[in-house]
Amino acid sequence: MVVEIFDVKTGKTLPKKIEILAEEEKEDLLEEKHYMLKEILEQPKTIVKATEQEEQKLIDVALDMLRAKTVVFTACGTARYAAIIGRYLLSKVANKFSDVIMSHEFQYFSDSIDKDTLVIAVSQSGETADVLEGVEKAKEKGAKVIAITNVVGSSLARIADYTFYLNCGTEVAVASTKAFTGQLVVLYLLAFAAINKIKKCKDSVTEVAKKIEENIHQNDSVLKELAEKMKDKKDIYYLAKGIDFAIASEGALKLKELSYMHAEGMPAGELKHGTLSLIEEGTPIVAICPKDYTCKETLNNAQEAKSRGGFIIGVSDENNDLFDVWLKIPKVEEIYYPIVSVIPLQLLAYYTAVAKGNNPDKPRNLAKSVTVK
Ligand code: M6R
């Protein structure tokens, strides 16, 4: 293809640099019925693709993170839940405190942003208006901006000082799945780059992807049966703690987007501060309790819900007497549990939408990318 740019008045060719952003990708459904299912099932591959990042760039950004007075993540929806996991990772792996601000609230914190702030913007599309507005404000204040995005050449990628792409291919379904796990992988790499362990992190993520591949169909019949039960419920609560907490919120977001049910994710310890009064006979509670440092306490909180009649759906690598239904995840290195725990929750949302007769690819009232304020 030849592209030339002319001055319309003089007809002369203008010496403009032409940048080819990406070959148009063809997304075929092949044997899957919906894009969402196809994108969920692609994750063992896309997770590995997301590790393909330039090592020097990871190191440079990690050093900027460590040097910055303040590190702030900004994002919306699913991308914000990835950012919350990024925050836990920075603290746990690199001992660096950071914060996460929803992009549409970012402007109200701009007084505290300055040239010593590093802003990490996470956005699948790179076109979310709220994200772009926040990032532009941060740049005006002299902050450095890092983008984690999927769409090559997106507005966010063009504004940022450094950009990491997810390499996971076009995400067609409105509900974000493979982009979320791709965002997590980049955040893991950044946290481990800060302690000089990029290679180790890449190897661990590749191992995690293999385990997901082996596990991804293991819960199929349990999930389909559960979805039939769930479709008539009004409310559902998702509990988790520590690094797994954002997976509770992400599981709830997936379910409400697609099934139009009320779903709420929360840190398990928050249950007794109010929500417990809503639990009655048969209320579904998803307890995300992989065998990590959060497990014991999350199980204690789930027990409180169970004794009020809660129906407990456990997401774990080990079964427990408390669970009415067990969604099995593979055993992985402790810090990587969020990547494996989200998969059965994506599938649960998918199958519940299908059981209700909803189109999981195009939920009502929602757009793939929110480009208006
Ligand atoms: O393109 P972005 O990542 O900036 O989009 C942010 C949210 O609008 C998006 O994650 C939304 O919450 C998804 N539909 C969730 O599945």
Between the CA atoms of 350, 354, 358 and 363, what dihedral angle is there, to the nearest 10 degrees? 10
State how far the Cα of 325 lies from the Cα of 318, in Å rounded to an integer. 12
How remote is the C-alpha of 220 from its chain's centroid? 22
Q: With cut-offs at 50, 70 and 90, classify the pLDDT of residue 24.
A: very low
Q: Is the pLDDT of residue 323 over 60?
A: yes
How many A from CA of 9 to the centre of ligand 1?
42
Considering the entire predicted model, what is its pTM? 0.92
Ligand 1 centroid to 176 CA: how many Å?
Answer: 6
Give all strands of the β-sheet with 325-328 in edge-to-edge order. 262-267, 235-240, 284-288, 311-316, 325-328
Tell me the per-residue pLDDT of 227-262, one tens digit each, with 9 for 90 and over.
Answer: 999 999 999 999 999 999 999 999 999 999 999 999
352 Cα–ligand 1 center, Å = 20
When pLDDT is cut at 50, 70 and 90, the band that residue 17 belongs to is low
CA of 367 to the centre of ligand 1 (A): 9
The predicted structure's pLDDT at residue 2 = 64
Best residue for ligand 1 mutational test, from 35, 40, 74, 78 (most atoms within 8 Å of Cβ): 78
Q: Calculate the average pLDDT of the chain.
A: 93
Residues with CB under 6 A from ligand 1: 76-79, 123-125, 128, 131, 174-176, 253, 257, 366, 369-370
Atom in ligand 1 nearest the alpha carbon of residue 254: 16
User: Mutation test of ligand 1: which of 80, 84, 104, 128 has the most ligand atoms closer than 8 Å to its C-beta?
Assistant: 128
CA torsion sign, 107 to 109 to 111 to 116? negative
Closest by CA to 124, choosing from 175, 62, 191, 161, is 175
Nearest CA to ligand 1 atom 16: 175
Q: Delineate the domains of the chain, giving CATH numbers in brackets.
A: 33-214 (3.40.50.10490), 217-355 (3.40.50.10490)
Distances from the Cα of 279 to the Cαs of 271, 289, 308, in angstroms? 10, 19, 6
Give the residue, 373 or 165, on which the prediction is more confident. Answer: 165
Which of 40, 76, 106, 155, when mutated, tests ligand 1's pocket best, judged by the most ligand atoms within 8 Å of its CB? Answer: 76
Q: What percent of the chain has pLDDT over 70?
A: 94
pLDDT in tens, 208-231: 999 999 999 999 999 999 999 999
Q: What is the pLDDT of residues 167-198, one digit of tens each?
A: 999 999 999 999 999 999 999 999 999 999 99
To test the ligand 1 pocket, which listed residue (80, 250, 370) has its Cβ within 8 A of the most ligand atoms?
370
Q: Whose C-alpha lies nearest to ligand 1, atom 12?
A: 77
pLDDT band at 22 (very low <50, low <70, confident <90, very high): low
The pLDDT assigned to 8 comes to 72
Q: What is the DSSP string of 150-190?
A: SSTT-HHHHHSSEEEE-------SSS-SHHHHHHHHHHHHH
Q: What is the pLDDT of residue 25?
A: 53
Ligand 1 atom closest to residue 77's alpha carbon, by position in its atom list? 12
Q: How many angstroms does the Cα of residue 79 sit away from the middle of ligand 1?
A: 6
Report the pLDDT value the prediction gives residue 30, as an integer from 0 to 100.
61
Q: How many angstroms does the Cα of residue 297 sit away from the middle of ligand 1? A: 30
Task: Give residue 372's pLDDT.
Answer: 82
Cα 257 to middle of ligand 1, angstroms: 11
Name the band, by pLDDT with cuts 50, 70 and 90, for residue 12.
Answer: confident
Q: pLDDT tens for residues 38-82?
A: 999 999 999 999 999 999 999 999 999 999 999 999 999 999 999
- Sign of the torsion angle spanned by Cα atoms 29, 32, 38, 44: negative
Measured between alpha carbons, how far is 100 from 249 in angstroms, rounded to an integer?
Answer: 14
Quote the ligand 1 centre to 14 CA distance (angstroms).
Answer: 38
* Location of structure tokens 């974000």: 176
Within the chain, how many helices (H) and strands (E) appear?
A: 13, 10
